[in-house]
Structure formats: C-alpha cells, structure tokens
Amino acid sequence: MKTDEAVSLVKAKLPEKRFNHSLRVAETAVKLAEIYDGDKDKAELAGILHDYSKYDDLGSMYQMVRQYDLDSDLLSYGSEILHGPVCAVIMENQFGVTDEEVLLAIKNHTTGRAQMSKTEKLVFIADYIEPGRQTPGVEEIRDLAYNQGSLDNTIYEISKRTVLYLITKDITVYNATIACLNYYNYSDERVKDD
C-alpha cells in the first residue's frame, strides 16, 4: 500500500484528533528510523495505519479474533489491547498489506513483545513519544530515544512505566507486555547503568 492511499484510508475512518496522532506517529517513526538505520518506508506506513481499528466495535473485534485465530487471551481484553492485532489482520486480509514487518509493527504497537523487529520497535516507541503526547515523564523517554542511542533501553523504560501504571489502576496486564518488559530488561543491547 502506498503512503497516500494509507493516509486517505485512515483520514476517512478516524476522528481528526486520532488521524493527526497517526500522522505524528508516522513522522516520529521515520525520524527514529533515520537515527537507528531503520526502514523509513515501513516505519511510515505502519505509523499511518496503526490506529485504524482504534474505535471499532468490540463485538466485531472479538469476531476477528476468532475468525483469524488470534491469541484467545485477547477475548479477555478491551479495545485498548485488541485494536493493534485486529488492525493487522484487517490490513492483511482486506487491504492487501503484505509486508510482515509492517503488519507486526501494527499488531504489537500497544503492548510490544519479546524480540521485536526494527520496525516494530520504531512504531512502539513513536506511539509513546510523538509530540502530542503529554504523559508525565515522556520527556525522559524522548531523551532516551533521541539522544541515548538505545532502542532497547527505551523500550524497557516504556514497558516499565506502562506496567507500573496498569498495576496502580488494577488493570490486568496482557502477556505480551510482560514478555516485552522481561525481554528488554535482559536484552544485550540495553545499557545497564548499575
């Protein structure tokens, strides 16, 4: 799928605020791709498309989980966890997106996972640090991503903050999020400062 086709698709589907977020994620992912020698085209396409299913009806999302044989644990979660995996199967099966890295980056953008590909990492981080995000402490994550030279360290810090937040809210943590946290805690690339 070409960039302008992806932009039109997302523009027609999402509210303006979410559409603008999608464009900022794409721009941020491209910026990170330049720093970390990633594939700019894949990062951009996945960034534009990643939230396409954000506001889909939950019932239809559960139906997609069953139809495409996705992880059945997803059936215990809401749209926050489901919209990535559901978007990836929609892009693959309804819109002919074939690139595996783009599909994985869309699928795992919210939770991350262990052993992410470069494009997955770029989109996961871009979704957290795009300029519209005002999460407390986001500046520290931006500094890690842009100035400290380690994607894996950035991913670990994002996962840690996400898990801590979910726990304080008594929200169940999806297994891929925990796997991501543990994997990037022990990743070789991660620079330990203790």
For residue 20, the number of C-alpha atoms closer than 13 Å in the C-beta half-sphere is 6
User: If binding means CB under 5 A, how many residues of this protein chain bind Fe ion?
Assistant: 2
Distance CA 192, CA 194 (A): 6
Least CB distance from residue 25 to Fe ion, whole Å? 6
Residue 92 is a binding residue for Fe ion (CB under 5 A)? no
Q: Distance (Å, rounded) from C-alpha 183 to C-alpha 134?
A: 27
By C-beta, is 44 or 127 nearer to Fe ion? 127
Indicate which single residue of 127, 144, 154, 190 sits in contact with Fe ion (rule: CB under 5 A).
Answer: 127
- Token pair listed for 179: 């796997």
Minimum CB separation of residue 77 from Fe ion in Å reads: 13
CA distance linking residue 114 with residue 157, whole number of Å: 14
C-beta of 192: minimal distance to Fe ion in Å?
Answer: 29
Window of 4-12, 92-100, 121-129, 160-168 that interacts with Fe ion by CB under 5 A: 121-129
Q: What is the DSSP code string of 14-52?
A: S-HHHHHHHHHHHHHHHHHHHHTT--HHHHHHHHHHTTT
The only residue of 7, 14, 49, 51 in contact with Fe ion, by rule CB under 5 A: 51
* Residues lying near Fe ion in the complex (CB under 5 A): 51, 127
